[in-house]
Structure 1
Amino acid sequence: MSVYRDAAHCISRVMSIEIHDGTKKASWQRKYKATFDDELLGGGLSDDLSPEERLTQDSMTRSTIKRTLPEIQWQALVGKYSINQDEVRVAAAYLTPRVVSPAHQLFKTKCVMAWMIPERRNGLPSSFYVLHSWDADGTPERTLRRWRATTKAWLDDQVAAAHFAVEALLEDRGLLFREVA
């Protein structure tokens, strides 16, 4: 049975599932053990699964998480961690009208996108991250900052709740690695 170090490890694997392919690797790639960092960071975590088995396990875990989590939490995880840009767009479209914030629609839309695609990712032009461009009504900067903090806090709360739910799900299914004392 495959195990994950924690919810973050699981989420990172299932949200990057597209990078795992079924193609035949060169001999040097087959010799490289992708879980080497797991052994360094996780105290010897090794599941002895083939790449195909690992992909199947991650796919099944992703499906279970998606089915189990409330839709808002799932979409928050997808928006924050998925590498699939189409999934991120869908998550943004889902979360924007549901985000609890005193801000107007334009502000919420831009704030959600800025939260999902941080400036360092170079996904959006740098002008997108200028706070005053998120408002066309001349709202004072202090109010804009408060709206941004409120909106981001709500989104972060959804991700935190999803992490706890994933941790509980993994624990319940016996998929968490536990060191034997």
Structure 2
Amino acid sequence: MTYRNVVAAVVRALAAETINSAGGNDFEPKVQCAKLKGEIIGKDASQLIDCMVHSRLHKALTNAQWLALVAKYSTHSERKHEAIIHIAKKITSPAPERFRHAAVVTWAIPKLPGAQGKRSTSVLPEAWYVLSNWCDEGRPEPTLYRWRTAIRRNLESMVNDALVAAQEVLDAEGLIENRAA
């Protein structure tokens, strides 16, 4: 199995830890006639590769790179929140701590289209996305926007660095499709 690109690989690998194969109404037989004894095929093989990629990336990337990817792409709520907290503490900005935290949270859990974000289970209350709620010091709005822009630029840079490192790992493993133009 190969992935289309590094983002697809990272998203699938991070989602692998939230997929639960226990229970459900799986009426298809687990053993297939065409399958060799002990052979893993289909969605089970894809799940196994996703788990191996998760492990490989977690070991190969620095902690900062790994946390940036988890904060941006993970669907595991606890791990995502842990990564957000860690990143918010490490981010450098002249903004107060509460502002930095809110900027990282709203970057990692963006407001989605739809009525009150009902398209997603991981959406924040509307007040989280109001920039003036992030700072009690009465700073001018241009300052708040400048701080938020700088923080988000820094966060995106962290993610881009992590994706470059992940691309190198996945290329070395031969897991990214090579499409000739």
Q: Name the TM tier (shorter chain).
A: 0.7 to 0.9
Change (3 A) 1:142 1:180: closer
Partner of 1:13: 12
Please say if 1:178 is aligned against 2:178: yes
Q: Identity over aligned residues, as a percent?
A: 29
* TM-fit CA distance, 1:100: 2.3
Matches within 5 A, 1:93-112: 93-112=85-104
Structure 2 CA distance, aligned partners of 1:103 and 1:49? 51
Scaled by the length of structure 1, what TM-score is found? 0.81
- Which amino acid is the alignment partner of residue 56 of structure 1? L
Q: CA deviation at 1:22?
A: 5.3
The residue identity in structure 1 corresponding to 2:10 is I
Q: List alignment gaps of at least 5 residues for structure 1.
A: 28-47
Q: d(CA) in 1 for partners of 2:88 and 2:141?
A: 21
Q: Tell me the amino acid that sits aligned with residue 147 of structure 2.
A: W
1:16-165 correspondence to structure 2 within 5 Å: 16-17=15-16, 18-19=18-19, 21=21, 23=23, 25-27=26-28, 49-120=41-112, 122=117, 123-165=123-165
Aligned pair count reads 160
Cα 1:136–1:174 change in 2 (3 A) is: same
Between the aligned partners of 1:101 and 1:8, the Cα distance in structure 2 is 28
Distance 1:63 1:26 in 2: 31
CA distance in 2, matches of 1:89, 1:3: 29
1:92 Cα deviation after fit: 1.0
* Aligned-residue RMSD, C-alpha: 1.9
* Cα distance, 1:174 vs structure 2: 1.3
Determine the C-alpha separation between the residues in 2 that align with 1:167 and 1:55: 20
Local SS of the residue matching 1:52: helix
TM-score, scaled relative to structure 2: 0.81
Report deviation, 1:134: 0.3
- 2-structure distance, mates of 1:21, 1:155: 33
Query: In proportion to residue count, which structure has more helix?
Result: 1
Structure 2 residues without counterparts, runs of 5 or longer = 29-39, 118-122
Q: Which runs of 4+ in 1 moved over 6 A?
A: none
